[in-house]
Amino acid sequence: MRELPYTTQSICPECFLENDEVHVIDATLYEEDGKVMYKKTCEKHGEFIDVYWGDVEMFKKAQKWWYKSIGLDNPRTKTVKGCPEDCGQCPEHKSHTALALLDVTNRCNLRCPICFAVAAEGGTVYEPTPEQVLDMLKNLRSNLPVPAPAIQFAGGEPTVSKHLPQYIKWAKQVGFRHVQIASNVIRIGKSKEYLQELRDAGLSTIYMQFDGVTEGPYLAARGTNLLPLKMKAIQNAREVGMESLVLVPTVVRGVNDDQLGKIIEFAVENRDVVRCVNFQPVSITGRIDHEARNEMRITIPDCIHMIEEQTGGKIPASEWYPVPSVMPVGRALGLIKGGPELELSSHFACGMATFIFIDEDGSYRPITEIIDVDKLLVLLEEIANLFADGKRGARARAKAKLAAGSRYIKKKGILKDLVSLFLDRGDYDSLAQFMRRVIMLGMMHFQDPYNFDLERVQHCDINYAVPDGRIVPFCTMNTIHRSRVEEKFSVTVEEWRTGHKPTVVEEESISKPYTSGE
């Protein structure tokens, strides 16, 4: 574990925002007033200071769970200009793709004040052709040593593409085990039949924009009250048997940061269809001064402490773990099955997660009241090491070790599921069965030009596929490369209309965004 202060690399936000110049500069992480601060200096634009993590002790704990990971055996680009210009992935990248994203369009039926730019009258349309989409799907599945296992179709709003059902079918056909969409669910709330079509095509999960349990956050963040449609979409999911919704609140100070606990309670009440709540502290886009950034900036630890307070201590801040803490799980599975397996090897500062178990009376408790998580993760690492040693009888010894680890499992029935997951089947279905007994709480904070950290980027395992064959890390895509990709592959709205022959739904995403009065 590195001690603070230490040095990483970043970019100058002003150089980039002024003229699209990626000027790499050193940045220092240091402790101040119980927080991890981030300081960098550009010789032209001066000093920039930001909050990196709002709790230094949580930062130190998270850092303990960071493991050395593996990148791609077949990177798509060469190192020419260096990180982050050579994204695609380049040989410097240190993780393989866990979740792939593919923007099917930049059109959207909303005009959210806090979102990335979308197509509108007078603008341009970024919309890969069906042939390009299929090529991108195949490209992701050709990753070595681990083909991308999961795909998320995004945008813009993916449901305004007439091709989405076909894309979902293709994703399943080329081997993706998990297919999801990131959606505002307007169309899904309006049409149960459309949701059934997506489900029949092979849709696994809806990554559902969900900013709060009252209308206020929607009016502020989305410009219209979407709550009634959210409720209708959830009911439609229930009626078609879609049992995997992820609620995704973008957390904005003064907008919905007082509703985090209520959102979790809402998830518990709808536990028959809601599998996860994934909170996303807002990223800062555009030029903004230091004082305004300080007022807006909300970090992962800030949200976690808010959740502890708003749930009356039922979800303590101490019970959250960084994403790479589960790497022993992937390694144990891979070694047991005799081949490389998915490793969630993102940077420890990218995200945190925990689980809650729900009792029959609807009350919930953190995973640590059910399982001694620290000791179980160490046990799984020991099991992985047994297989790595290659000695005879490793499987039997591993099974005995896991059985002996039953003392770490405090709830009947859980041990049986874990044995099935790690030793008997070790497959995706076993994991899904186990996950349906819990609700996952996640926290992902995507970077912006002010808190951009190249070390985080190089370990990113959430990657975009783009039409030129590259596979780009999430935070470099949305901070640096998105505008370049869209400029290269976009057409004017009129050119799109002429060549695409849009449906009514597609045309309205350009000329008539949804309002709650409809």
Question: Greater confidence, 411 or 248?
Answer: 248
Look at 190 and 70; give whichever has higher pLDDT.
190
| Per-residue model confidence as pLDDT tens digits over 342-366 | 788 899 999 999 999 988 888 999 9
Identity of the amino acid at 165 = P
| Least confident segment among 111-115, 202-206, 433-437, 476-480 | 433-437
Q: For residue 284, what pLDDT band results from cuts at 50, 70 and 90?
A: confident
> How far is residue 496's CA from residue 491's CA, in Å, rounded to a whole number?
6
pLDDT above 80: residue 429 = no
The amino acid that residue 338 corresponds to is G
Would you say residue 427 has pLDDT above 60?
A: no
What span, in angstroms and rounded, lies between the C-alpha atoms of 367 and 319?
Answer: 8
| Residue 371: DSSP 8-state | B
In the predicted structure, residue 334 carries a pLDDT above the cut 80: no
pLDDT tens digits for 130-152? Answer: 999 999 999 999 999 999 999 99
* Burial class of residue 2, CB neighbours in 10 A (0-12, 13-18, 19+): exposed
pLDDT at 472 (0 to 100): 97
Residue 98: which of 464, 447, 344 has the closest Cα?
344
Q: DSSP labels for 219-270?
A: HHHHSS--HHHHHHHHHHHHHHT---EEEEPEE-TTTTTT-HHHHHHHHHHT
Q: What is the pLDDT of residue 107?
A: 94
**DSSP assignment string, 88-142:** SS-TT-----SEEEEE--S--S---TTSPP---TTSEEE---HHHHHHHHHHHHT
401-405 long-range Cβ contacts below 8 angstroms, 24+ apart:
405/375, 405/376, 405/379
One-letter amino acid identity for 502?
P
Strand ranges inside 252-383, DSSP E: 274-281, 321-322, 351-358, 364-366
Q: Is 36 helix (H, G, I), strand (E, B) or coil?
A: strand
Q: Give the residue from 96, 81, 88 showing the smallest Cα distance to 23.
A: 81
Average pLDDT value for residue range 283-292: 80
CA dist., res. 516 & res. 183, Å (int)? 17
Question: Which residues pair with residue 26 across a beta bridge?
Answer: 9
Of 114-118, 250-254, 289-293, 446-450, which gets the smallest average pLDDT?
Answer: 114-118
For residue 358, with 0-12 CB atoms within 10 Å meaning exposed, 13-18 middle and 19 or more buried, which class applies?
middle
**pLDDT surpasses 60 at 430:** no
Q: For a pLDDT cut of 90, what percent of the chain falls above it?
A: 70
Q: What is the pLDDT confidence band of residue 13, given thresholds at 50, 70 and 90?
A: very high
How much is the mean pLDDT over the chain?
90
The two beta strands, 6-11 and 24-32, are: antiparallel
pLDDT for the residue 393: 73
